[in-house]
Amino acid sequence: FSKLGGQAKGNLVIKDNGVEKSILGDVTIDTGSVTVAYTQCRYLLTNETISFGDNSIDLGMMRLKDTLGNVGTVSGRMDHNFFQNFYFRNMRFETGKLLVLNTTKKDNQQFYGNVIGSALMTINGPTTDLRMNIDGQPSLVDTSHIYLPTGAEAREGTKIDYIEFIQFGSEMDKATSNSQAANILVNLNITANPACKVDVILDEETGDIIKGQGNGKLNITVGTTEPLSIRGRYELTKGEYTFNFQTFLKRPFNLSQGSITWNGDPYLAIIDMDAEYLAKNVDIKSLTFSNATAKADVIVQAHLTGNLKTPQIEFDFRFIEGSEAGRDFFVTKKLADFKNDQNNMYKQVASLLLLNTFITDQAFLSGQSTFNIAASTAGGVISSWLTNVFNKELERATKGVISTYIDINPTVDLQSQANQLQANVRAGLKILLSSRVNVLVAGNYEYNNPYALQQQRSGFLTPDISIEWLLNKDGSLRVVGFNRTSLDFTSSQRNRSGVQLAYRKEFNKIGDIFKTRKKIQAQDSIRYRVLPADSTYVPRADSSYNRPPASAALR
């Protein structure tokens, strides 16, 4: 208990026979209040009597109110040795409706929220081995909300380490505190119902959250020396899964059915749930040969499995019942093909959620693409080499304030009789004004561009300038103000100015687009393991396990 205060009156007798001290008498609390440290609930007392006996404190049957006016009762006795070595004997707290939880993330990173409901709590034992048993059920007519984080911060604080015992109005000294360290075990049984909302926070950084309402029985235990443990099954009756595409695009998926099962570790709970997102007027021209069905409503289905720490998501598409596109053979065949290729499925989901359209891969099938890939590869190697050479000297001279880049993009025009080489060369300076503001001054040189050739020029130089403001720490999200010049068939060149919101991400495979850096690192740590230099490598039977390259001990 904490924040005890109020006004009281009574007659107390202090006895001291040279061996023991004791206080006897009754005290009437005119007005008082007390806060339960673990739940952060504040209760009010009015005209209640406490009896002080021979090394005991008897609460009798006291009525208390929460800050909302709901009523509960508390009874029981505390034995002590002149306010040392407290022993709780059948301390009982009971209510049909009361505020029983009122915490925030600051109070408790393991789980927090607001709960109004019925509860029975008993406290027994000495402070060195205290047992607190709680049975509770949220009220069916009031709103309750519980939050269950699953991130690293929640893992760091999975024990009760914030309750201190006070002696004579001051904190106990270290000698006393160490000799009788507090040890508390809380055993909480919850009967969940749809009136209580439960938010399971999968990734606080990106905002991936499962918001659910349902039924279930959960047992939660946590203590001074016991880590947080949750057991039970929670059946969802309705809810929402907020799908986040790298923190800046949110799409709400409605949960149709599912469950969360805890077997001890709260962060390894097993999830199995289905969610849907309805995309309106999706462009499906890339799926069909008929312009009559170029637009259609598409349902994106997501099946979430695995555990809360590293959930797996499988996607699928379907049309609403009675849709004309759903009767198109070519369209349904395309959707079935997506399901058989997860990389392509991820691309289609990203395109649909971002651009409200399906994309086609026909551009990768042309005969010209092979030559262009080879030319682009050579251009990339040269660009990287030149950039490194210039950057090394420039950054050394300016102490990292100014850097440069060179980008060469050659292509081969197979349509012309001479198989003419075309190229776009971009070069510029990047100036760091501060940790969040960059200025880029650049120029583009077009060689053998068709528009330049129309004006009897083999080359054409166009200037660019832009200012970038980084919105987040890693610089992936930024606002860009620009003034750009490009070739134009009619007027030689065209100037464009504007502001854009840009997002950048590096990834090794398409599936990584949907994952945060933490999730990718977690998967890599499982996939690869450190091998001692003198160890003999024996491949595992599991063919999915890959040994890291010899040059890298840990990816």
DSSP H helical segments within 36-138, as ranges?
A: none
- What 17-20 contacts at long range (C-beta under 8 Å, 24+ apart), as own/partner pairs, is 20/55, 20/82
Q: Is residue 330 part of a domain?
A: no
**Distances in whole angstroms, Cα of residue 110 to Cα of each of 38, 199, 239:** 12, 13, 22
Same-domain check for residues 544 and 453: no
Q: Which residues contact 489 (CB under 8 A, 6 or more apart)?
A: 451, 454
Same-domain check for residues 63 and 156: yes
Q: Is residue 377 part of a domain?
A: no
**Predicted structure pTM score:** 0.58
Q: Please give the pLDDT value at position 5.
A: 85
CB of 140 closer than 8 Å to CB of 175: no
Q: Side-chain half-sphere of 137: how many Cα atoms within 13 Å? A: 10
Q: Is residue 148 part of a domain?
A: yes
Q: Is residue 376 part of a domain?
A: no
Same-domain check for residues 28 and 143: yes
Q: End-to-end CA distance of the chain, in Å? A: 49
**Does residue 508 sit in helix, strand or coil?**
coil
Q: Is residue 435 part of a domain?
A: yes
Same-domain check for residues 397 and 487: yes
Q: Which residues contact 291 (CB under 8 A, 6 or more apart)?
A: 285
Q: Please give the pLDDT value at position 363.
A: 37
Same-domain check for residues 111 and 214: yes
Strands 41-53 and 166-167 turn out to be: unpaired
Q: Is residue 113 part of a domain?
A: yes
Same-domain check for residues 98 and 239: yes
Q: Please give the pLDDT value at position 181.
A: 64
Dihedral angle computed from the Cα positions of residues 249, 250, 251 and 253, in that order, rounded to the nearest 10 degrees: 150
How distant is the alpha carbon of residue 175 from its chain centre? Answer: 42
Alpha carbons 397 and 394: distance in angstroms, whole number: 5
Picking from 243, 268, 293, the residue at the C-terminal end of a domain is 268
Same-domain check for residues 453 and 553: no
Q: Please give the pLDDT value at position 210.
A: 84
Specify the number of domains making up the chain: 3
CB of 412 closer than 8 Å to CB of 371: yes
Q: Is residue 284 part of a domain?
A: no
Q: Please give the pLDDT value at position 516.
A: 63
Same-domain check for residues 33 and 75: yes
Same-domain check for residues 11 and 156: yes
Picking from 212, 243, 268, the residue at the C-terminal end of a domain is 268
Q: Is residue 487 part of a domain?
A: yes
**Distances in whole angstroms, Cα of residue 146 to Cα of each of 1, 109, 181, 363, 529:** 22, 12, 31, 49, 37
> Where is 72: in which H helix or E strand?
strand 71-79
Same-domain check for residues 26 and 98: yes
Q: What residues make up the domain containing 533?
A: 516-555
**Distances in whole angstroms, Cα of residue 150 to Cα of each of 205, 217, 384:** 11, 20, 41
Residue 131 tokens read as 């047992």
Alpha carbons 15 and 13: distance in angstroms, whole number: 6
Same-domain check for residues 62 and 205: yes
Mean pLDDT by 10 residues, the chain (555 residues): 83 86 90 85 91 90 91 92 89 91 84 89 90 90 85 46 38 40 84 88 76 90 85 90 67 85 88 88 76 75 85 86 79 84 83 79 41 40 50 59 56 41 58 74 62 50 77 78 63 68 67 61 54 45 40 32
Q: Please give the pLDDT value at position 507.
A: 60
Same-domain check for residues 473 and 555: no
| Inter-axis angle of helices 329-339 and 342-355, nearest 10 | 120
Picking from 228, 252, 268, the residue at the C-terminal end of a domain is 268
Q: Which residues contact 220 (CB under 8 A, 6 or more apart)?
A: 111, 186, 187, 188, 189, 190, 228, 229, 230
Q: Which residues contact 50 (CB under 8 A, 6 or more apart)?
A: 26, 27, 29, 57, 58, 59, 60, 62
